[in-house]
Amino acid sequence: MAFGFVTTRVTDVLNWARRYSLWPMPYGTACCAIEFMGLISGRFDISRFGAELLRFSPRQADLLLVMGTISYKQAPILKRIYAQMPEPKWVVAVGACAASGGFYNNYHTVQGIDELIPVDVYVPGCPPRPEQLMDALVKIQDGILKRDKGRIQNSESRIQKGDI
Ligand code: SF4
């Protein structure tokens, strides 16, 4: 058997490891969070994707799942949570409310969390099925392997000084 060797970049190895060890932080404000509870239960089993270690501190999470309606009163809280997450980090807007305000087209509802923080994947539906959340997770994992530095820089610029 001939001897061989493998070459790669440290970044590629790190991204490969990140891909299968996401630490999600659920930010659930309404009914979409119930679907997430389905995703982490035995029937759907998020552990198969290496993302079962839920964190309830943003400082220990790299995947923010925003599930439910976001009011303008909550906007500074969401921005602060995002700012407290270490880089690299990813955001999923789960359901119509998080993605666009849903049917709450009124004075107190944020019409999509991308008004506040950058979003990597939007999950449509009211509510979306757990399978759609799994699809979002796989999209995030695929995106980690080809990280877009421009988006990361853009996300930094959206956090203004007075916000946190
Ligand atoms: S998208 Fe539908 S299910 Fe999800 S939080 Fe809004 S109203 Fe509830």
Q: Where are the domains of the chain?
A: 25-147
Q: Is the pLDDT of residue 146 over 50?
A: yes
Q: Kindly report the average pLDDT of the chain as a whole number.
A: 86
What is the position in ligand 1's atom list of the atom closest to the CA of 30?
5
For ligand 1, which residues put their CB under 6 angstroms from it?
A: 30-32, 68-69, 95-97, 102, 126-127
CB atoms within 10 A of CB 126: 12
Strand locations in 16-129 (E) = 24-28, 63-67, 90-94, 121-123
* Fold held by 25-147: Rossmann fold (3.40.50)
User: Phi, psi (5° rounding) for residue 67?
Assistant: -130, 105
Q: Is the pLDDT of residue 159 over 50?
A: no
Mutate to test the pocket of ligand 1, among 29, 37, 69 (most ligand atoms within 8 A of CB): 69
Residue type for 121, please?
V
What is the position in ligand 1's atom list of the atom closest to the CA of 34?
3
Q: Mean pLDDT check: name the lowest of 11-20, 71-80, 98-107, 151-160.
A: 151-160
User: What does the alpha-carbon distance between residue 133 and residue 118 come to, in Å, rounded to a whole number?
Assistant: 18
Kindly report the protein residue whose alpha carbon is nearest to atom 5 of ligand 1: 68
What's the pLDDT at 17?
A: 87
Which of the four pLDDT bands, split at 50, 70 and 90, describes residue 69? very high
